[in-house]
Structure 1
Amino acid sequence: MSRSGYYVWRCRPPSKRARENAMLTEETAQIHARTRGAYGARRIHIELQAGGTQVGKKRVARLMKALVYAA
C-alpha cells in the first residue's frame, strides 16, 4: 500500500455500515441494560424489530459479542 493511500484511508469518514453498527450497538446496550442482562440476542432482535429497526438476529448476536469483548 502506498503511503498516500494509507493516509487517505485513515482520514476517510466511517462507512454507512459502520455508522449503523454503532447505532445498533448503542440501542442493543440500552435494551440489555434496561432488562438487567436478562435479554439475549433473540429477544433484543425481537425488540428492535418491534421498534421498526430492520436487522438480522445474527448481526445483533455479533454486535453483542463485540460488546462483551470490548468491556
Structure 2
Amino acid sequence: MLLHASFPFLKEASYLASIYPQIYLDFGLRIPKPNFHGLMSSVKEILDLAPINEVMINSSGITFAE
C-alpha cells in the first residue's frame, strides 16, 4: 500500500498500481494542494493510470484529536 498516493510521485505510484496487482494507492485528503482545482488534478492524475479498484481514499484525520 502506498500511503497518500506517494505524493509527490503520483504518476509513478499510479503506474506501479497499474502493473502490479498487489499494490494499492491510499489517496488521502492530506495531499498538499492549495485549492479545489489542484486537488481534482491530483485525482485525475492518479486515475489516469491506476485501476479504480486499487485506489482507496481516507480522511487523514482532518480535525484535531480529542
Q: Same fold (TM over 0.5)?
A: no
TM-score, length of structure 1 as denominator length? 0.32
Give the number of the structure whose alpha-carbon radius of gyration is greater: 1
Does 1 or 2 have the higher relative contact order (CA < 8 Å, sep 6+)? 2
